[in-house]
Structure 1
């Protein structure tokens, strides 16, 4: 039996906004870093600047109005309520497209995709969009029992699309969304016309394969990432509850924890605002703060980070890689994604394509799914 979606709209109480501003004003700041770069984390002066802007300049109500303009719902799947945005294209023959966000973001990371995908210049390229919040993120329920790993989320997404009456659909994702989308390709091949993901991952093949210099550079970058950037994932994969106490209590801590990743993983020349406007970063940080999801959003690392399954994906697949993102060798991915239709090595860009260049991503999605409709 299909679950019945419940219309959803949320307005943060003014008391919560006042509390956020009060906490930011009373932040206990540490001493500055002892280096003149980001190697020890977010520099103090920069964090204080963004925190002060969050307190006095950022307009959460504007983002709230932006969300309220879109149709939002809650639906019960596998014992939890999943929050999602559902935007039907004005073009009735549009292809349904499920898009999944990642960490440290939320569905707010995807909002700039709505108009170009649902109402493109050519109606033949239109999509009906379904944008769910991952369990433990945003306004989806926080699971109260373990087991919500990538594969279980993929099964829930398949149920969501079936409950919405979509017998054929495509899927796209980044970060954890790419892992969920790949798992969905394994879990629901009968209904998926194809998947397109950024940051594809696969295990090393048992037999030797020839790697290009770009493949080798990507593996070297992943090794450097684990050495210099992987502290957050080690903590969240082992002690998500402990870090959750600190981030849930301190908005400056929540901001620093996320801001470091938006800065480190996007493609810019030292000025994050050139890649991602600070209001868009604060959209995601604010959702996480008001929804108190620091611990619950981290648990996907505890569930899946050290238990990755790279099962074969046989539906048509497209993969995009970016120089400031994790890059796996194409020959490895070809063995996992057995019907790889498209592989794009971008010369610029980072981990947040829907924020850094939503127009380019929209064009890429339209082009990939065009022959699969």
Structure 2
């Protein structure tokens, strides 16, 4: 596996680490459980980490030196792809011929390294976009920065070069075809998963609130994720203001946790959300909390009455799936993969557009009817069980085998040529 811009060992919710990091960690572990050895190559961003770390039995993470450890933004990483590729090739040269069977690249930067590795090693390239420039640019938040043309070109090249593309949902597969002219037979849909051992209802909301120091009777709408315009945490703050304007009595029992750190274009204005909360007069209700580990994140989900996910674009929506697995309903934008993850009216509510008034209307239903969180939360926990990582790994392995089978005739011809000219 290749992940140039973020390590699977990074804390999700910080910098560029997010759902993709969770995806690689969980998928790799499940593949290893199926007997597939996995090596993940990522750019070294710290001198304190060992060059090779064991993530789990059968899963190694290799940190490749490519550019300075710190100070490089994601936009500057294309200039380091040559150095990163060189590092990958050096490690590969230490293995016996045919050591790697498949290259699985994540995000477009890794796709370019994977493209070269695939050609050099004579193995299939399986690529997961995770997000796409054309899709993001078609649904930009106000004031957000468009993805550059270089990324669009790079993604187009990878789509043409990959033996197989993995899409999170049928909608994402359709976007690959619509925006990038992907070949449908080479595009497979594999849903990401949820760690159903970690993300469970547990002992319930009261116990989680006690551990987190939250009031037992509070109404708690939660935002969890990276703080950037794409994820739209500001919509939640505007919706809270709408709630209070309609019913000022809610102020006495409203607590609004925002769990996560600035990321992407949000790094340019890291205090934007705090300033917005003050300007809207809700700063006393909002609790900003830095990113937390997965076990602690599960407690935040359990403690909330509802998770709010007003993103402008989501290839899947792991946060929504995790919250539902913990028995917490979701109010989410009807974008990307979220309509797959959230069953409207059953496990939460899907909102068309990003008008805070509509989000406030949905939240008001939970505030006025506490039993609604319990009813929809129970259905949410059941629904989330269909997204286990073991199924993701099994389906991904099937994609690898299809790619290998399609490559087999060419590999046989190459071996025959090599024997005849050896």
State the TM bucket, normalised to the shorter chain.
0.3 to 0.5
TM-score of the aligned structures, taking structure 1 as reference length: 0.36
Larger radius of gyration: 2
